[in-house]
């Protein structure tokens, strides 16, 4: 799928010197036309979108995440820290445990995370091998995991990641029993928040010889991955598939299952019944290297709604203590992460944020952003393979722009800051373990978020107004 329109407009297009106009309209007198305002139904971006589709003959594709504004978000929640009714912990001194263990009691080598954070699945192919290496270095320093994503396990990623999760996806690109045995957790991928219900997309410019060889695909092809597994369909099959994977790994490592947040309550029930060690999901704010734009904006549910729904479902299944909830999709800072944990997540899953930390959107190589028709802070051109800062590309000249050591340092710093922010809220709420944060530590700023999370509204909460009592 080339992003370049494959037809050229007729030669007369844009020619305004048509005689009939000269006759019908007065000559321009230099006066500035009175502004009429943009249509609310047909604003410039909608007109532009329609005209781009008219040229391309297909849906638009782009990277990063939905551009929708106004989705319910973690900003609609606030913490209610300690006061007189409970005591806070010393913010800079007292210990606040951040460790999370996945698969404890269910496998020989549970995955121990020193912080409630994991780097989300991003493939070699979507990212350059240097970006993968930098993520591995940073994650290892922080005692957390990285994830292979769709393209198979790259030896560089295994080398630099102390804890590596291998995704087992419908496409089975690069899948083999040897790499499964090398993984520290297996994540059975069934969807992602950016495009739930569809498979992956990797456009031809990113299908380098090495990426193609790992995926058993022709070099330069526009890859469209299957959206469902080739050999299992429903809940009962999943149970058998889990047993097969556990046989391969010798029951050594935990297994999680990942979905895009949509029908999350039922998905959690099925995953819990099948016996996975964790469910992973990202909300509709989740990132991607390439997705149909319309899918990004109109499919799936927001992360904040999904967390509450999933936590309730898991508690109903009686597996709250034996199965972890790992949540991604638009987590930007320690406040988002801590609120997510308070609502019921055990771990937050970060993809876009670490990529931004290493330089995505950085205002350098401005001329190359311009050649892509974009600029820093609004780029979202990961799908083209022409990443100006050298992260989401397979072109050697662009890849060299990413300094691996600097990128690893930047991601480490960001993860450290994020961890401190999470602990800040936990300590302020009087908790010496981050995992002890709960919905009572939160209040909702909007009725919508109070409804979807069950968190009390600020001020009134669930109480009767005082003037009705006296």
Residues making contact with another protein (CB under 8 A): 1-2, 6-7, 56-59, 171-172, 175-178, 180, 204, 215-218, 221-222, 224, 226, 230-232, 237, 240-241, 243-244, 247-248, 251
- Least distance in Å: CB of 198 to another protein? 10
- Least distance in Å: CB of 172 to another protein? 4
- Least distance in Å: CB of 231 to another protein? 3
Q: Pick the closer one to another protein by CB: 5 or 318.
A: 5
Tokens of 178: 């040897």
Give the alpha-carbon dihedral of 92, 95, 100, 104, to 10 degrees.
Answer: 180
- Least distance in Å: CB of 54 to another protein? 10
Q: Pick the closer one to another protein by CB: 162 or 222.
A: 222
Cβ distance 245 to 275 under 8 Å? no
- Least distance in Å: CB of 6 to another protein? 6
Q: Pick the closer one to another protein by CB: 99 or 228.
A: 228
What order do you get walking across the sheet with 278-282 strand by strand?
117-119, 347-350, 324-328, 278-282, 255-260, 185-189, 164-168, 146-147
- Least distance in Å: CB of 381 to another protein? 18
How many Å is the maximal CA-CA distance in the chain?
85
Q: Are strands 324-328 and 278-282 parallel, antiparallel or unpaired?
A: parallel
C-alpha distances in angstroms, 172 versus 107, 198, 232, 401, 416? 24, 15, 13, 31, 34
- Least distance in Å: CB of 146 to another protein? 23
- Least distance in Å: CB of 347 to another protein? 28
Q: Pick the closer one to another protein by CB: 6 or 367.
A: 6
Instruction: Please calculate the CA angle 39-42-48 and round it to the nearest 5 degrees.
Output: 125
- Least distance in Å: CB of 3 to another protein? 10
Q: Pick the closer one to another protein by CB: 218 or 318.
A: 218
Q: Three-class SS string for 63-86?
A: EECCCCCCCCCHHHEEECCCCCCC
Q: Pick the closer one to another protein by CB: 36 or 58.
A: 58
Considering only CA atoms, which of 322, 306, 311 is closest in space to residue 110? 322
Query: Would you give the end-to-end CA distance of the chain in angstroms?
Result: 69
Cβ distance 356 to 366 under 8 Å? no
Cβ distance 119 to 144 under 8 Å? yes
Contacts of 350 (CB under 8 A, 6+ apart): 117, 118, 119, 120, 328, 331, 418
Crossing angle of the two packed helices 334-343 and 303-316, in degrees rounded to 10: 30
Tokens of 465: 């107004």
Residue burial 127-152, b: 16+ Cβ < 10 Å; e: rest: bbbbbbbbbbbbbbbbbbbbbbbbbb
Q: Pick the closer one to another protein by CB: 299 or 360.
A: 299
- Least distance in Å: CB of 368 to another protein? 24
Considering only CA atoms, which of 236, 290, 332 is closest in space to residue 63? 290
Can you give the length of the chain in residues? 470
Q: Pick the closer one to another protein by CB: 58 or 397.
A: 58
Q: Pick the closer one to another protein by CB: 246 or 258.
A: 246
- Least distance in Å: CB of 270 to another protein? 17
- Least distance in Å: CB of 229 to another protein? 8
C-alpha distances in angstroms, 207 versus 9, 126, 215? 30, 9, 9
Q: Pick the closer one to another protein by CB: 134 or 296.
A: 296
Q: Pick the closer one to another protein by CB: 228 or 433.
A: 228
Q: Pick the closer one to another protein by CB: 53 or 362.
A: 53
Tokens of 7: 């037809």
Q: What share of the chain is helix, strand, coil (3-state, %, to 5)?
A: 35, 15, 50
Residue 185, beta-bridge partner list: 165
């Amino acid at each position: 799928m080339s992003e370049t329109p494959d037809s050229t407009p007729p030669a007369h297009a844009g020619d305004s010197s048509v005689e009939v106009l000269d006759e019908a309209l007065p000559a321009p007198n230099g006066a500035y036309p009175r502004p009429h305002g943009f249509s609310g139904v047909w604003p410039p971006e909608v007109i532009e979108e329609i005209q781009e589709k008219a040229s391309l003959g297909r849906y638009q594709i782009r990277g990063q995440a939905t551009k929708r504004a106004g989705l319910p978000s973690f900003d609609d929640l606030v913490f209610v820290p300690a006061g007189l009714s409970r005591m806070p912990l010393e913010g800079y001194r007292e210990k606040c445990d951040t460790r999370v263990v996945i698969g404890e009691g269910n496998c020989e080598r549970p995955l121990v995370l020193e912080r409630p954070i994991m780097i989300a699945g991003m493939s070699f192919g979507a990212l350059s091998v240097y970006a993968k290496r930098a993520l591995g270095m940073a994650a290892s320093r922080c005692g957390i995991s990285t994830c292979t994503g769709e393209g198979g396990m790259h030896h560089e990623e295994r080398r630099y990641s102390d804890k590596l999760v291998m995704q087992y996806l419908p496409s089975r690109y690069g899948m083999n029993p040897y790499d499964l045995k090398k993984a520290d957790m297996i994540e059975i991928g069934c969807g992602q928040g950016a495009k739930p219900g569809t498979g992956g997309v990797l456009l031809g410019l990113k299908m380098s010889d090495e990426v193609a060889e790992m995926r058993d695909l022709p070099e330069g092809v526009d890859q469209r991955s299957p959206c469902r597994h080739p050999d299992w369909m429903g809940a009962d099959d999943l149970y058998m598939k889990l047993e097969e994977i556990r046989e391969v790994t010798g029951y050594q490592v935990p297994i999680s299952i990942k979905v895009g947040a949509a029908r999350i309550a039922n998905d959690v029930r099925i995953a819990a019944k099948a016996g996975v060690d964790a469910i992973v999901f990202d909300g509709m704010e989740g990132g991607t290297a390439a997705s149909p734009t319309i899918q990004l904006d109109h499919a799936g549910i927001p992360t904040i709604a999904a967390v509450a729904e999933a936590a309730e479902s898991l508690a109903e299944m009686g597996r709250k203590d034996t199965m972890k909830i790992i949540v991604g999709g638009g987590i930007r800072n320690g406040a988002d992460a801590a609120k997510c944990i308070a609502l019921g997540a055990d771990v937050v899953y970060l993809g876009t944020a670490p990529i931004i930390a290493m330089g995505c959107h950085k205002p350098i190589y401005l001329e190359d952003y311009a050649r892509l028709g974009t600029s820093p802070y609004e780029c979202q051109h990961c799908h083209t393979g022409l990443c100006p800062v050298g992260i989401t590309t397979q072109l050697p000249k662009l890849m060299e722009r990413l300094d691996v050591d600097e990128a690893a340092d930047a991601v480490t710093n960001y993860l450290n800051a994020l961890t401190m922010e999470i602990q800040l809220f936990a300590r302020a709420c009087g908790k010496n373990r981050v995992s002890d944060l709960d919905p009572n530590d939160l209040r909702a700023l909007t009725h919508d978020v109070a409804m979807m999370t069950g968190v009390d509204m600020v001020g009134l909460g669930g109480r009767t107004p005082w003037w009705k009592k006296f």
